[in-house]
Structure 1
C-alpha cells in the first residue's frame, strides 16, 4: 500500500467500501476501472484492457469508458446482474490541494435503477427485501422509479412455499435477505430456482431488527406511530421495510421521499398462482421463446400509457378473490364498452399522456431535465378533459377514478411560467428558463445579444481601419475572442494589436476593446447559465412538493387505461360479462381460448361448454386422442376464470364464475436437469405440491398423470389421485383431468361427482378428423397411430405399428381370460418381423402349455411335449 501512487491509494480506499460493486472511478473525461474490476468489465463490456503505472512493479490492469456514454455501459453491466458504484470528483480541481477529493455518489444495482434507458417501459422494476425469521417471513418490495411500496408477511403453514409463490408473482430484479437467518445456501438456491433472473444480496442483519424498522418507518413517513400505516400488528414486514428503506438510502445517497405511501396487502385477497401454473398458462410470456406475443398479456394489452401497461401486467399476475372488487371492475368495463364515443375520446387524451409515475419519480429524485417538466405539463393538461368525460358515468369505479384525479393547475402554471416550450436536454448549457420569468435573465440575454452584435460591428470597423479585408474575429474556449490576420497581411497590422497565438498561415491578436467586450459577453453567459440552473432546480423543487398528489393521479389514470383496454378488447373480440358468484359454480357456455382464437386469423375456433361445481360435477375425466385439443380446452377454462377475476369480460356466450382461490396446472412433461429430476419425478413433485396446497375453492388442471412410469403403476397412481381429489373427505376441489387411461372412465357412477367427457373425433377409414368438441362420455381408444400418421411419421413405421398393436391386443391377458378365441393365423408374423421386446415366442410356449390336457396325457406324450417345449425355449434365446 505504501508503494502505491496517491491516486491509486484513493481508488482502493473507495473500492474497499464497496467490495461487491464495479467501481467507476472518474478521471477527467473517463470513468476508469482497475485491477479485478478492469479485467471483469473489459470482458463483459468487450472493451480494451490496458494498464497503468500504480507504484507497484507490475502495471495495474485498467479499462475505461467515456463519462458521456457511461449510461450505456452501466446498463449492460446491470443487465448482467452486477452492481456499479459511481465515484466522482466532489471538489473543484482548481481549489484542490494535492489530489482531488473523490467519493461514491451513488450505487446502481439491478433493483435500484431509475434511468429511463435502463428500464423497460411496460414493466415494473422491483426490489424486494425479505426477512427470514423463526416466526415467519416478512417481505417488502418497491419500484423506486414509480414510488410503489408494498408489504406483506407469511406465518403458519407452508411459509416458505407461500413466499416463493409471491416472489414468482412479483419477479423482483433484486432481493436483499438478512445475513444471519440462513447461513446455508438452501434458501438462496430455492429462490434462484423460481426467480432465475433475480440478483440476490445479503444485507446487514441489524437493518432487519424490528425496533430499527419501526424507527425507520416513523422517520420516513413523519409519524409518531405505525397505526396510521396499518403495520402495528405486522412486525415481520416492518423489519423488512426498514431494511429496504435503509438499503435504498445507502445506494442512492439521496432522499427517497417519493416513496410516500406504504401499502400492506393480504395475500388471500389475490388468487395464488405458482410458477408452474404461470408458465403453463402463458400469462405474460410464451413457454417456447418467452416472447410477449402469444401470451394472455399480448391479447389484453390495448393500453395507451406506459402506466396502464405496467398495471395490466400486475392485474394479470394477481387476480382478485373478493367478489365486490371484481364486480366494480366489471361494471366499469361494461359502462366503457357500451359508450364507444366517450371511450375513443378518452383514449385520445390518454395517448397524449406521458409516463407520469416515472416522470414524477425523476423529478422527486432530482434527475429530471427541462423536457421532463414540459412532458409533465402537457400530460397534466389532459386531466381536466378526462375528468369532464368521466362525469357522464355513474358506476362506482369510474366515479372513484374521477375523484382521485387532481387537475394540478398550480403545477401546470409553474412550469408554463418558467420553462421554455422546447428546452435543451442539458441543464448546464442554459436556454431553459423563459426570459420573462426573471428580470436578471432578461438583462443578461440582452447583454449577450448586444455583445454578439458588438463583435460583428467591431469586425467591420477593424476591416475598414486596417484595410485587411480577410480580417475576422473568432472564439475558442482556450483563448477566448481573437482577431485573426493571414500572414500575407501582417504588414497592415496596427501597432496596438497584441499578438496572442501564431498559426501556420495566420497570426491571432487581441485588443483592449475586444477584451472588454469579451468580458461582458462571457460574464453574461457564465452568469446566465448559473442563474438558469439555479432557477430550474427551484422550479423542480416546487413541482416535487406535489409528488404525492401527482402519483395519486397517475395511479388513477393507469386504472382507467386498463379498464378501457378491457372494454376495447371485449368489444372487438365479442367477449361477454361474466356473472361472479361465491357458490363454486363454473358454468361456461361456448367458451373460447382467448389466445388461440386470436392467433387463428383464418379459421374458426370451436367453442365448448364447461360445467364444474362442488356437487355432482366437481371432477371431469377428459379422454380423447393427442392433438385433439384436451390441453387447449383445460387452459381455456382456467384463462376464462382468471380473466373474470381480473375484472375483464370473457370469451364465451355466457359465463358464471365461482370465485377460485388458486389455480393449479400439471400440463406437459419436462425434465429438470438442473435439479437432477427426471420427467416422472418432476410430475410427481408438482402433483404433491398441488395435493398439499389446494383447497375446495381451487381449480385443478391435471394432464396425463402417471404417464412417466409403467402402465400399471401410472394407472394406479392416476386412479388414486382421482379418488383423493374428488373426495370431500380429502379435498373435493373442481378438477379437469385429462388422461389416456380409459379404465378411469369406469369411475363415473362409482365415485360421487366424477363425470366423463371426451373429445369428439370422426373416423374415415384409417384416418381421423378432430372435431374439437367436448361431449359427454368417455373415449374407447387413443388413436395414437392415426395421430402419428397425421404428424408425418413414415408410412412403413405406421403400418408396422398397426401390426404390433394388433398382436398386443390379440394376446392381451384380459381378452384371453374372457375366453376370446384368437386364431394363431390372425396374429402370425414372420420371424424377421418379431421384436424380442414383446416376447412373442414366450407367449407361444404358454399357449402350448395351456393346450396340454394333463389328466389325459400318457408319460410318453408328456416327454414329447416337454421335448418340443425345450426346443421352443432354445429358440427364445
Structure 2
C-alpha cells in the first residue's frame, strides 16, 4: 500500500493527498504533519523509525466535507482525493493478496467547489484564467458550481475603480453590508440572487432589453396579490443550477435528483399560478379595442414558455415522475450511498434488501446459539452479530480454557477458526457462519450495485434534457429578480425610470438607496422620511451638462455623488429607482473615484 500511495503522490506533488483506507481517509508523511497542524488532528508515529511514511493521521469518511472545507477555504490548500474504486471482494478475485485499486477521483481548489456545504448559496464562486500572448491579454472566468462561463467584454458601464468607489456589491470595508446589492436584494432563490448580482455588475445599454425588464417589473408592481403568491411559490424551488451541475460533473447525489424533480413540479405550478391570474384579470377587463394586447409582458411570457412550453417538456415531466417514483421522500437517506430507493420500485433490490433486513435477535440466531452450545457443551457461548464483522461465536477466556481441556470439546473447537482474541473473550467462526457472512456481504454489494444503477439511469434521463433544464433555471431566476425589483419598489416607494437615448439626467426628489435602507433597518417607523430627498438635472444647453459640487467635510458631497450614480446603475439594470421622477439618458460609461 505504501508503494501505491507514493505512486499517487508523485502524480499530484502540489496537492495534499487524502488516501482512503477502508472507512477512513489518511494523510501520510509530510502531508500528515501538515494536516495535524492545520486540522488539529492527532499525529500517529509508527514504532519503527526506518519505516517509510512513519507518520499518519486521518478522519472517518463521513467527515470529509468539513475537513476539506477547512483545508481549501481557510488555508488555501489544494487537495487530491484518492478513493478505493473497487471493493475488497473484487480485489481478491484478482489474487489473494491483491491491493484494492485506488485512484484520484477529484482535485479540490477554492475555485472548483461544488458542494452546498462549502458554498455561499446566493453568491457565485468563480474560477478565473488570465492569458497573455505578446501584446494581447485574455481573461475568462467560470463558476463550476453553476456552469456559468464569461469573458471580458470590450465595454462595461463602470470601471473597477467605480465598482469599488460606488460600493455596488461590497462596501469599502469589504462587506456586503451597506452595499447597493444588499439594499436592493429581496430575492427568494439562490439563483435569483446570483442573477441580480450579475445584472448589477453588467448594466445594459440596450433600450429595448431594458424596457422588457421594466415592463415585467411594472406588471408585478401593479399586481401585488400575484406578486406575493409568486414569491411564496419561488421560495419552494431548489438551486436547480447547482443541482444540475453536480450531476453533470459526476459528483451529484440522489438529493440533487430529488431537488431537480421537485423544482420541475414547482415550476409547473408557478406557470399555472401566473396564467390563471392572467386569465382572471383578462376576463374582468371591459371589451375595448386593444384588450388582447394587455396580456403578459414579453419577458414574463418568454420565461413561462421556458418553464413548460419547450419541446422537451414531456420528457422533463416524465423524468421528474420517474425520480419521485424511485427515490424516498426522506432527505436524510438521499445523502447516503445506499438506502435511498423506495421499497417496491425494484424487485431485484427488494430481494437483496430482504437478505440484509435480518434481525440479530431473530429465532434463527437463537437456534444457532442453542446448536453450538449443545455441540461444544457450554452454556456461556454466545452467537453474536455485528454489522462490520457479521456472525461469530464468543467465548469467555476461562470457558475457552475449560473446553480445551475436554477432548470432545477440543475436537469441536479445532473445527472452528479463531479470528480474534480480546481481553475477556475469544472469537471463532464456523464454515456455516462464514457462509452466512458471505451471503450478507454479497447482498450488501448487490444492494449498492443495483441502487447505483438506478441512480445512474435517473441521472442520465435528467442530463438528456440538461439544456432545457438550464433554461428553466434561468427563467426561474429571471422571474425572481423581477419580483424582487417589484417588491422593493412597493416597500420603499421606488418609481419606474424613463429611459431614452438623450444626454439628459433628470432626477426629482431622488434618494440614496443604501442610506435609506440603513435608516429603515434601524428605525421602527415605516415612513419614508428617513432620507431627505434632493434633485439633479444634467442636460445640454440651457440647463448645463456639468455641476460643480462644493461644501464642507461631512456635508454630503460623496453621498450625493453615489446616490445619482446608483440611480443610473439601477435604471440600466432594469430596476425601479428611489425618486419621485427619473429620466435617464442611457449612459455608456460611468466614472467615479469616491473614497470617503
Q: Which residue of 2 aligns with 1:105?
A: 105
Match of 1:81 in 2: 76
Distance 1:554 1:444, change over 3 A: same
Structure 2: where are the runs of 5+ without partners? 279-294, 524-528
Kindly provide the CA deviation profile for residues 563-588 of structure 1, in whole angstroms up to 9, marking residues without a partner as x: 11110011000000000011011101
Looking at structure 1, the residues matched to 218 and 546 of structure 2 have their Cα atoms a distance apart, in angstroms, of 33
Whether contact under 8 Å (1:26, 1:32) holds in the other structure is no
Specify which of 25, 28, 45 is matched with residue 30 of structure 1: 25
| Alignment match, 2:217 | 333
Q: Quick one: distance in 1 between partners of 2:48 and 2:472? A: 55
- 2:286 aligns with none
Among candidates 594, 597, 607, match of residue 513 of structure 2? 594
Deviation at 1:541, TM superposition (A): 2.2
* Alignment correspondent of 2:289: none
Distance 2:441 2:80 in 1: 36
Counterpart Cα distance in 2 of 1:575 and 1:445 = 60
Residue equivalent to 2:282: none
Higher relative contact order (CA 8 A, sep 6+): 2
Change in 2 beyond 3 A, CA 1:144/1:474: same
Q: Which residue of 1 aligns with 2:159?
A: 274
Task: Give the Cα–Cα distance (whole angstroms) in 2 for the partners of residues 44 and 513 of structure 1.
Answer: 48
Deviation (angstroms), 1:316: 1.0
> Does 1:475 pair with 2:360?
no
- How many residues in Structure 1 have an aligned counterpart in Structure 2? 544
Per-residue CA distance 1:744-782 (angstroms, 9 max, x = gap): xxxxxxxxxxxxxxxxxxxxxxxxxxxxxxxxxxxxxxx
SS class of match (2:321): helix
CA contact (8 A) 2:352 2:443 kept: yes
What's the counterpart of residue 349 of structure 2?
441
Task: Give the Cα separation in 2 of the matches to 1:434 and 1:539.
Answer: 14
CA–CA distance in structure 2, aligned partners of residues 45 and 628 of structure 1 = 50
Query: Which of 169, 184, 203 matches 1:284?
Result: 169
* Cα distance between partner residues in 1 of 2:47 and 2:7: 18
Q: Is the 8 A contact 1:122 1:310 kept in 2?
A: yes
- Residues 654, 584 of structure 1: alpha-carbon distance in 2 compared, 3 angstrom cutoff: same
Q: Which residue of 2 aligns with 1:401?
A: 303
- Secondary structure in 2 aligned to 1:65? strand
Aligned-partner SS, 1:648: coil
2:260 to 328, 353, 376: 376
* Cα distance in structure 2, aligned partners of 1:508 and 1:107: 42
Aligned to 1:121: 121
Counterpart Cα distance in 1 of 2:445 and 2:8: 33
Aligned ranges for residues 455-604 of structure 1 at < 5 Å? 455-459=362-366, 473-477=383-387, 479-482=389-392, 520-601=439-520, 602=523, 604=530
User: Structure 1 residue 631 and structure 2 residue 555: aligned?
Assistant: no
Cα-to-partner distance string for 1:446-480 (whole Å, 9 max, x where unaligned): 4444x548933551686699699987642125652
3-state SS of 1:132 partner:
strand
Does residue 360 (structure 1) correspond to residue 244 (structure 2)? The answer is yes
Equivalent residues of 2:185, 2:193 under 8 A apart: yes
CA 40–441 in structure 1, closer or farther in 2 if over 3 Å, else same: closer
Q: Give the 3 Å change call, closer, same or farther, for CA 60–511 of structure 1 in structure 2.
A: closer
**Distance (Å, rounded) in 2 between the aligned partners of 1:33 and 1:512:** 38
Q: CA RMSD in A?
A: 3.6
Contact persistence 2:48–2:54 (CA under 8 A): no
What pairs up with 1:663-678 in 2 under 5 angstroms? 663-668=590-595
Whether the 8 Å CA contact 1:455–1:517 is kept in 2: the answer is no
1:432 aligns with 2:359: no
Query: 1:345 pairs with 215, 220, 229, which one?
Result: 229
Cα offset, 1:594, TM superposition: 0.5
Shift of 1:608: 0.3
- Aligned to 1:382, the other structure's residue is in SS state helix
Match of 2:325 among 403, 407, 417: 417
Instruction: Choose 1 or 2 for highest CA Rg.
Output: 1
Partner of 2:288: none
The CA deviation at 1:558 is 0.7
The match for 1:146 is 146
- The structure-2 alpha-carbon separation of the partners of 1:129 and 1:462, relative to structure 1 and needing over 3 Å to count, comes to closer
SS in 2 for 1:532: helix
Structure 1: how far apart are the matches of 2:334 and 2:219? 45
Provide Cα deviations, 1:368-397, integer angstroms capped at 9, x if missing partner. Answer: 222222222222210111111333251011
Aligned pair in 2 of structure 1 residues 346, 297: CA closer, same or farther (>3 Å)? same
Looking at structure 1, the residues matched to 21 and 393 of structure 2 have their Cα atoms a distance apart, in angstroms, of 35
| Structure 1 position 524, deviation (Å) | 3.1
Alpha carbons of structure 1 residues 471 and 342: separation in structure 2 relative to 1, 3 Å: farther
Segment drifting more, 486-495 vs 141-150: 486-495
Secondary structure (helix, strand or coil) at the match of 2:325 reads helix
Instruction: Pick one of 51, 65, 70 that aligns with 1:71.
Output: 65
* Aligned mates of 1:561, 1:16 — CA distance in 2: 48
C-alpha displacement at 1:439, in angstroms? 1.8
